[in-house]
A and B are shown apart, each in its own frame.
Chain A
């Protein structure tokens, strides 16, 4: 009886939660079109192409991180693998770009399997494991690259990867879009998606229910590292160079995009398509800043503010907190008035 009465607001809330990343993306598109005009500039198709190029690299890193977050974990090593992937591709792909890409992906698979196995079998938190993994990979990247930037001689690879397709895409960003499509379909239409969300939502319950929790975890970490390596290898061919340290900017982009995409730190929730929306929103925002010539500190302020705002709006306890605030302000007098004269069986206990 009660659940029938309460069903509708719950549906609405659920709908609001799942559609929020796409609403934000829509708002972003409007801002992307309108704001430059206000300051006498113009956003062109090329700016959209640029955003998608950014998405091609960092969107994949965001997806890698986001999948581990949906499974209730956190893969800090994504940037490490992104760096190692680009260095391996440049160093081993001088004769054949595909060979370099393959080696980068295999390295990613290996790293992910090792990290995932440690986390799943020893049941340790992924934070320390992947932080250690990040540092190890960073060191390994610098070792392989002789602690210096390495250039990739075969420039034609990069130019064919970056040649414009359908005005706003390139081969590279189409690869990213393709990966997102495949992961979205897998998350939605196979057992895997449900199981990943299950182990993120309640690990013990999933185990009791019969979900192969360890195998799923190892798989998620393997996928995460492979996606990061893919992103790294492609960006390295595109720029025809690999740096020994990609810095923390890709990680911060990934975390922000994932959170904008509605994935929670608690795990169990999220969709690949929404992560894509978050990553595209953030790419557009960065491009918008460069069109407007916004100083870095201002863009930090705006991005940070946006993230905090979105997190607060998405907070499940927001409504309850607001009710508490209102009740306190109303005080006891308001309470007596609102209850009024409800017909009640008056009760006096006796002994």
Chain B
């Protein structure tokens, strides 16, 4: 592709031209007569609410699912993509939202995995130099190509996934929520890689819920709503508010923070003293009251999620004096912690949250079966009515009650998961890890409202987040963490984004510890 970028960008013939694409899953129409074009050398954002159809379009373009109708043209040639391999042969490389790395293989093997052009004969370590170069470019200098992927942190895995797509020399790189698990420095590496790719005349499809990234990185944006293509615009004509308007159809009011409900009966009190979670966290102290929403703000590896896991009883050798509502809790057993009144929503909703093959209904009531049981048998009527209440609370269509969770979009899965965790009795300690990972703007507001309501009912909420926006939006007390230690604690109204971000990335404000509340 010898074409110069900017002048040619708007006039070049599209590399991908999809017309009238329709896809149905059972009774649900995921994409309805959608058209989409991708030009060489552009970064094209796909935007939309959960279930708007972005992920389905991505899957069609990468050969994972086939549309019911519509035509797909790539480089001027009409194509039918039956398998991911065929999509690859047409020059499409996908970085899926769900990781497609095999934990049992090494980094190098994972990067070569599935590459139709990788030679039949290969020596272990044979492509080490090329692998090294790509890893370095993504800021993974410390990761050896012979490391097993199971030994990497989730952010590192996401970068390996991107490294694989880069290694394939594809004409089109599709990134589906590539930054959801990444820290800011890691995101910078991804951005740099994307810019290199388009500078070579290749194209990138960028799916993200983070509007800031879209505004910074993308040339054009296609907005989807309820399976329909709403509009495609040059990003330079848009701002954050304009994007939200297009995505939602209207601009939601920033939700008001209501204080503790008058009628909240019991109020939780939680004290944590001297919590240590080997090997990283030491001497963590915190006091929380019902009605309070506390953010543990820190990058991956800061210790924030380890603290939550320890409080949930998931770390066998975590130690510390923890009391909930005046009762001491011995850590190290999830059962004991649940009995003491903690509710933990893991950041890994697939592995530790949902029963993917089961219905929405079963997932919603899964943790409260003892209350719905008589003589060891689940009362079906009671279970169904509780599930109906919960599905209304999370604002999902009741028609989806019997849908297997695995077929929902990521955001809707997260709502089901949190719905199950949130509507418990009052006066409990809610531990939420990355409550809106991979959830779009609208879904995020809804989930934040759910959390606020839960707090208003007298629950104490502690959540861990790597995302600055979320911390500032949801918390009323912010605890910044870095390298296993608390940097400082301050009320939301005194926090500025620059300070919080500084604490999270450098943790170098010990000298200012006096600021702590």
Using a CB–CB cutoff of 8 Å, the interface residues on chain A facing chain B are 1-7, 10, 14, 188-192, 194-195, 197-198, 200-202, 204-212, 268-269, 320, 323-324, 326-328, 332, 335-336, 338-339, 342-351
Contact between B103 and A207, CB atoms less than 8 A apart: no
Given contacts A189-B123, A211-B114, A268-B104, contact A205 B99 (CB under 8 A): yes
Contact between B153 and A2, CB atoms less than 8 A apart: yes
Q: How many residues does chain B have at the interface if contact means C-beta atoms less than 8 Å apart? A: 75
Given contacts A201-B103, A351-B291, contact A191 B486 (CB under 8 A): no
Contact between B113 and A209, CB atoms less than 8 A apart: yes
Count the A-B residue pairs with Cβ separation under 8 angstroms: how many? 189
Contact between B88 and A210, CB atoms less than 8 A apart: yes
Q: Which residue of A lies closest to B276 (CB)?
A: A339
Q: A-facing mask of B73-115, CB < 8 A → 1, else 0?
A: 0000000000111001000001010111111110001101111
Contact between B122 and A191, CB atoms less than 8 A apart: yes
Contact between B151 and A339, CB atoms less than 8 A apart: no
Contact between A347 and B332, CB atoms less than 8 A apart: no
Can you report 24 residue pairs joining A to B where beta carbons are below 8 Å apart? A3-B147, A3-B151, A7-B147, A14-B148, A190-B121, A191-B112, A206-B113, A206-B114, A208-B94, A208-B98, A209-B102, A210-B88, A323-B316, A342-B274, A342-B282, A344-B274, A344-B282, A345-B485, A345-B487, A347-B486, A349-B289, A349-B292, A350-B491, A351-B491
Q: Which residue of A lies closest to B161 (CB)?
A: A209
Q: Which of A200, A206, A348 counts the most B-chain CB atoms under 10 A from its CB? A: A348
Residues of A within 8 A of B319 (CB): 327, 332, 335-336, 338-339
Min distance, Cβ A116 to any Cβ of chain B, angstroms: 18
The complex places the Cα of A253 from the Cα of B233 at a distance, in Å, of: 66
Min distance, Cβ B87 to any Cβ of chain A, angstroms: 8
Contact between A190 and B122, CB atoms less than 8 A apart: yes
The complex places the Cα of A351 from the Cα of B489 at a distance, in Å, of: 12
Min distance, Cβ B147 to any Cβ of chain A, angstroms: 7
Q: Which of A205, A339, A349 counts the most B-chain CB atoms under 10 A from its CB? A: A349
CB < 8 Å neighbour of A345 from B94, B100, B113, B488: B488
List of 10 A-B pairs having minimum Cβ-Cβ separation, nearest first: A210-B114, A344-B283, A335-B319, A201-B104, A209-B114, A268-B104, A208-B100, A342-B283, A324-B316, A201-B102
Q: Which residue of B lies closest to A4 (CB)?
A: B142
The complex places the Cα of A351 from the Cα of B479 at a distance, in Å, of: 13
Q: Which residue of B lies closest to A195 (CB)?
A: B113
Q: Which residue of A lies closest to B111 (CB)?
A: A209
CB < 8 Å neighbour of B102 from A190, A205, A348: A205
Is residue B51 within 8 Å, beta carbon to beta carbon, of the partner chain?
no
Chain B residues 468-489 with CB under 8 Å of chain A are 476-477, 479, 483, 485-489
Contact between B280 and A189, CB atoms less than 8 A apart: no
Given contacts A210-B85, A347-B516, contact A269 B321 (CB under 8 A): no
Min distance, Cβ B351 to any Cβ of chain A, angstroms: 12
The complex places the Cα of A185 from the Cα of B171 at a distance, in Å, of: 34
CB < 8 Å neighbour of A350 from B104, B109, B477, B488: B477
Given contacts A327-B317, A327-B332, A345-B516, contact A210 B115 (CB under 8 A): yes
Residues of B within 8 A of A198 (CB): 102, 104-105, 109, 113-114
